[in-house]
Amino acid sequence: MTNRKLDALFAERVLGDPKPDWQCKHNLERSSPGRAWVCVSDPNECEHDWRPAKFTTSLDAAWAGVEKFNDPRMGVTTLSIEHTSTGKWRAYVSDSVARESTPALALVKACLLAVGVTQEEIDAAIDSSI
Protein backbone atom coordinates (compact mmCIF):
# COMPACT_ATOMS: atom_id res chain seq x y z
CA MET A 1 0.00 0.00 0.00
CA THR A 2 1.35 3.40 -0.90
CA ASN A 3 0.52 6.56 0.95
CA ARG A 4 1.45 9.13 -1.68
CA LYS A 5 -0.94 11.73 -0.28
CA LEU A 6 0.57 11.30 3.18
CA ASP A 7 4.07 11.43 1.67
CA ALA A 8 3.10 14.68 -0.11
CA LEU A 9 1.70 16.15 3.11
CA PHE A 10 4.98 15.29 4.89
CA ALA A 11 7.07 16.87 2.10
CA GLU A 12 5.06 20.07 2.17
CA ARG A 13 4.27 20.58 5.85
CA VAL A 14 7.22 18.99 7.65
CA LEU A 15 10.05 19.53 5.19
CA GLY A 16 8.68 22.76 3.72
CA ASP A 17 9.20 21.52 0.16
CA PRO A 18 6.04 22.05 -1.92
CA LYS A 19 5.44 20.10 -5.10
CA PRO A 20 7.36 21.88 -7.89
CA ASP A 21 5.10 23.88 -10.19
CA TRP A 22 7.24 23.33 -13.27
CA GLN A 23 7.06 20.34 -15.57
CA CYS A 24 9.89 17.90 -15.02
CA LYS A 25 11.73 16.68 -18.08
CA HIS A 26 13.33 13.27 -18.37
CA ASN A 27 17.01 13.35 -17.33
CA LEU A 28 16.97 17.10 -16.68
CA GLU A 29 15.57 17.30 -13.17
CA ARG A 30 15.72 14.26 -10.94
CA SER A 31 14.52 15.85 -7.70
CA SER A 32 13.12 19.08 -6.32
CA PRO A 33 15.44 21.61 -4.64
CA GLY A 34 14.52 20.21 -1.21
CA ARG A 35 14.81 16.64 -2.53
CA ALA A 36 11.36 15.69 -1.24
CA TRP A 37 9.93 15.25 -4.77
CA VAL A 38 11.24 13.03 -7.56
CA CYS A 39 10.61 13.25 -11.29
CA VAL A 40 9.23 9.93 -12.48
CA SER A 41 8.16 8.77 -15.90
CA ASP A 42 5.77 6.12 -17.05
CA PRO A 43 7.74 3.74 -19.32
CA ASN A 44 4.63 3.28 -21.47
CA GLU A 45 4.04 7.00 -21.97
CA CYS A 46 5.97 10.19 -22.54
CA GLU A 47 4.49 11.67 -19.36
CA HIS A 48 6.65 12.80 -16.47
CA ASP A 49 5.36 13.84 -13.09
CA TRP A 50 6.59 14.89 -9.67
CA ARG A 51 5.97 12.33 -6.94
CA PRO A 52 6.85 12.64 -3.28
CA ALA A 53 9.66 10.52 -1.92
CA LYS A 54 8.43 7.38 -0.14
CA PHE A 55 8.61 8.76 3.38
CA THR A 56 5.94 6.41 4.78
CA THR A 57 7.75 3.26 3.66
CA SER A 58 11.40 4.23 4.06
CA LEU A 59 12.88 5.04 7.45
CA ASP A 60 15.88 6.57 5.67
CA ALA A 61 13.57 8.99 3.83
CA ALA A 62 11.41 9.71 6.89
CA TRP A 63 14.56 10.53 8.86
CA ALA A 64 14.59 13.86 7.00
CA GLY A 65 11.86 14.89 9.44
CA VAL A 66 14.13 14.08 12.38
CA GLU A 67 16.86 16.20 10.83
CA LYS A 68 14.40 19.06 10.39
CA PHE A 69 13.31 18.85 14.01
CA ASN A 70 16.89 18.44 15.22
CA ASP A 71 17.47 22.10 14.32
CA PRO A 72 17.90 23.99 17.64
CA ARG A 73 15.60 26.73 16.34
CA MET A 74 12.69 24.24 16.35
CA GLY A 75 12.82 23.91 20.14
CA VAL A 76 12.01 20.20 20.15
CA THR A 77 12.43 18.63 23.56
CA THR A 78 11.58 15.00 22.79
CA LEU A 79 12.47 12.98 19.73
CA SER A 80 12.49 9.17 19.85
CA ILE A 81 11.20 6.04 18.21
CA GLU A 82 10.74 2.67 19.87
CA HIS A 83 9.36 -0.80 19.21
CA THR A 84 6.66 -1.68 21.72
CA SER A 85 5.81 -5.01 23.30
CA THR A 86 2.60 -5.07 21.23
CA GLY A 87 4.62 -5.15 18.01
CA LYS A 88 3.82 -1.55 17.07
CA TRP A 89 6.29 1.28 16.59
CA ARG A 90 5.86 4.41 18.65
CA ALA A 91 7.41 7.73 17.60
CA TYR A 92 7.62 10.83 19.78
CA VAL A 93 8.27 14.24 18.27
CA SER A 94 7.93 17.10 20.73
CA ASP A 95 4.56 16.54 22.43
CA SER A 96 3.19 14.41 19.59
CA VAL A 97 3.09 10.64 19.54
CA ALA A 98 2.08 8.17 16.84
CA ARG A 99 1.80 4.38 16.92
CA GLU A 100 2.01 2.41 13.70
CA SER A 101 3.03 -0.94 12.23
CA THR A 102 6.27 0.43 10.74
CA PRO A 103 8.83 2.87 12.13
CA ALA A 104 8.72 5.07 9.03
CA LEU A 105 4.96 5.52 9.16
CA ALA A 106 5.02 6.22 12.91
CA LEU A 107 7.73 8.83 12.43
CA VAL A 108 5.93 10.52 9.53
CA LYS A 109 2.70 10.77 11.51
CA ALA A 110 4.41 12.07 14.66
CA CYS A 111 6.24 14.74 12.66
CA LEU A 112 3.02 15.79 10.95
CA LEU A 113 1.22 16.08 14.28
CA ALA A 114 4.14 18.07 15.71
CA VAL A 115 3.87 20.73 12.99
CA GLY A 116 0.15 21.14 13.57
CA VAL A 117 -1.39 18.82 11.00
CA THR A 118 -4.60 17.44 12.49
CA GLN A 119 -5.40 13.76 12.83
CA GLU A 120 -8.35 14.38 10.48
CA GLU A 121 -5.99 15.70 7.78
CA ILE A 122 -3.75 12.66 8.24
CA ASP A 123 -6.72 10.28 8.05
CA ALA A 124 -8.02 12.04 4.92
CA ALA A 125 -4.61 11.72 3.24
CA ILE A 126 -4.51 8.01 4.05
CA ASP A 127 -8.06 7.41 2.83
CA SER A 128 -7.50 9.13 -0.53
CA SER A 129 -5.03 8.45 -3.28
CA ILE A 130 -3.22 10.56 -5.88
In terms of Cα–Cα distance, which of 89, 105, 67 is closest to 79? 67
This prediction's pTM:
0.83
Query: What is the CB neighbour count within 10 angstroms for residue 97?
Result: 16
Q: Does domain 4-127 have CATH number 3.30.2120.10?
A: yes
Question: DSSP letter at 56?
Answer: T
**pLDDT, mean of each 10-residue run, the chain (130 residues):** 86 91 63 73 64 91 84 70 93 90 94 94 79
Position 130 scores a pLDDT of 47
- What are φ and ψ of residue 17, in 5° steps? -120, 90
